[in-house]
Amino acid sequence: MFEDFVLPKEVEKELHDLQALLVEIPEIKRFKQIEMAIEKNHYIHEIEELIKIKQKEAAHLAYYEKWEAKKKMDEEINRLHQELEENITVIHYRQALREANVIVQKIMKQVHEEVVRPLEHNDID
């Protein structure tokens, strides 16, 4: 029923215009640049893949009750996580993501205050 809802063309255009404005905000630009750097960073992807592999291995070790080997695997996984946490590109990415999220949250709060709240209280002009 509601899944078939189609936005009116003028609303779609306004949303597209808003998106164009948002990508010009310096914090959003910075986030997109760092996001691209993360995507191109083979080292980060290798660490992420290695973590996934080691997590699967740890699950198998637990299944077969090889607790000492699992403990060592968990320590290796934690070391790899720490390596990612300390990576300067990852640090910058997380900071830029927080900044971008604050901007989006402010926009969503304003939309809620100016659009949703009046609808909830039948306070429409």
The three-class DSSP label of residue 64 is coil
Percent of the chain at pLDDT > 70 equals: 97
**Smallest Cα–Cα separation from 87: which of 59, 51, 58?**
51
Cα distance between residue 84 and residue 41, in whole Å: 12
Using one digit for the tens of pLDDT, what is the confidence trace for 63-115? 999 999 999 999 999 999 999 999 999 999 999 999 999 999 999 999 888 88
CATH T-level assignment (fold) for domain 22-98 = YheA-like fold (1.20.1500)
Task: Note the Cα 97 to chain centre separation in Å.
Answer: 7
Q: Is the pLDDT of residue 125 over 60?
A: no
Task: Note the Cα 100 to chain centre separation in Å.
Answer: 10
Tell me the domain boundaries of the chain. 22-98
The H-assigned helical ranges of the chain are 9-22, 26-40, 42-63, 67-85, 88-111, 117-120
